[in-house]
Amino acid sequence: MKKTNLLFFVLVLNLGCQNQTNKDLAFVPESSGNLNHITVVMPETDWKGELGAVVREELQQIYEGLPIDEPQYSINYLNPKTFTGFARQSRNVVWFQKGDNPAFQLAQNQFARPQILANVRGEDSEIQGFLFQENATLLRQTFAENERKEKMRRIRKSLTTEETLPNRFGFTLEYPSAYETVKDTANFVWIQKPMRKGHLNLIAYTLEPEALSEQFNGQILDLRDSIGKRYIPGRLKGSYFITERAFRPYYYKTKLEGSTTFLTKGTWEVANDFMAGPFINYAIKDSLSKKWIVIEGFAFAPSASKRDYMFELNSILTSFKRLD
């Protein structure tokens, strides 16, 4: 069967769990695994061949905005013979199986909860690879949302009781109690979580409506540099927080809570010092105050992988919610 004959392959989405009641789910074990990890199940010959290469290329695309390239997902390979029992409780699974009827199927909570299981069926590895590539974007988006929800579930186990952001700006972010406010001024809040080697940071401030144009041509970089110079000093006298211009940032237009939002991912550095790391910045057009609300997360973690740190910060930032 050739690729040209696969125009009628079956795509089944079962993300609503229509056939599982709450009672049924009570007997499904909790899923396990580190965040941003995916279990891939296929014969070893396929894993070492072209199909495995295709899967690694699609699932290990570069996580945007980091100073050193890191994959979006880490992959745990399993031989089908070992995909039994506890091994089936991984939160994100891609399972390749031989079958006469080609299909790409997404199922929720099949062996554990929460869980996304992608089942790719085809009579050979070529067909399976075609089906996988055709649906790779959908799959990455589905896994990303599953991981975001899981991260927020973990965060909500120990939420902060601080009221700095609501009192100062009239919005909330859901962040753990390990984060504490280290600076609170008239129009700037800095919240920080210390780590063994470094720290994670959240900052928030507002801008006048004319500060950013609807075309969004990168003005945010100069603006955040002026904020950094004023509010975020470095370790040495005369040093301060700015944007690293040697790395081209990523720009996107998106929505947060239904509002026009400009998203910027890039690298920060400290002028007159040797400190650097990744940042993610959201500029939200607030229709109530007629201002731009800017929220940002940045990590300082020398000689450590930064993907999961930035994933945590982004999860917190996307929990943005205005108060009524």
Please determine, for residue 16, whether its predicted confidence score (pLDDT) is greater than 70: no
Q: Are 91 and 112 in contact (CB under 8 A)?
A: yes
Query: What confidence tens digit (pLDDT) does each residue in 182-227 have?
Result: 999 999 999 999 998 899 999 999 999 998 887 776 789 999 999 9
Distances (CA, A) of 176 to 16, 52, 301, 307, 316: 30, 38, 19, 18, 9
Diameter of the chain measured on Cα atoms? 69
What pLDDT, on a 0 to 100 scale, did the predictor assign at position 26?
60
What pLDDT, on a 0 to 100 scale, did the predictor assign at position 274?
87
Please determine, for residue 2, whether its predicted confidence score (pLDDT) is greater than 70: no
246 — pLDDT class (breaks 50, 70, 90) = confident
8 — pLDDT class (breaks 50, 70, 90) = very low
Q: How far apart are CA 141 and CA 34, in angstroms?
A: 18
Please determine, for residue 118, whether its predicted confidence score (pLDDT) is greater than 90: yes
Query: What confidence tens digit (pLDDT) does each residue in 290-316 have?
Result: 899 999 999 999 989 999 999 999 999
Q: How far apart are CA 296 and CA 317, in angstroms?
A: 7
H or E element that contains 104: strand 103-108
Q: What is the DSSP letter of 41?
A: E
35 — pLDDT class (breaks 50, 70, 90) = very high
Q: The whole model's pTM is what?
A: 0.90
For 253-283, the DSSP string reads EEEETTEEEEEEEEEEEEETS--EEEEEEEE
What pLDDT, on a 0 to 100 scale, did the predictor assign at position 7?
41
Query: What confidence tens digit (pLDDT) does each residue in 135-186 have?
Result: 999 999 999 999 999 999 999 999 999 999 999 999 999 999 999 999 999 9
Q: Three-class SS of residue 249? A: coil
In this structure, the number of other CB atoms found within 10 A of the CB of residue 187 comes to 14
Q: How far apart are CA 240 and CA 128, in angstroms?
A: 52
Please determine, for residue 3, whether its predicted confidence score (pLDDT) is greater than 80: no
Q: Three-class SS of residue 62? A: strand
Please determine, for residue 248, whether its predicted confidence score (pLDDT) is greater than 80: yes
Q: How far apart are CA 260 and CA 287, in angstroms?
A: 9
Domains and CATH numbers, the chain: 3-155 (3.30.379), 159-322 (3.40.1000.10)
11 — pLDDT class (breaks 50, 70, 90) = low
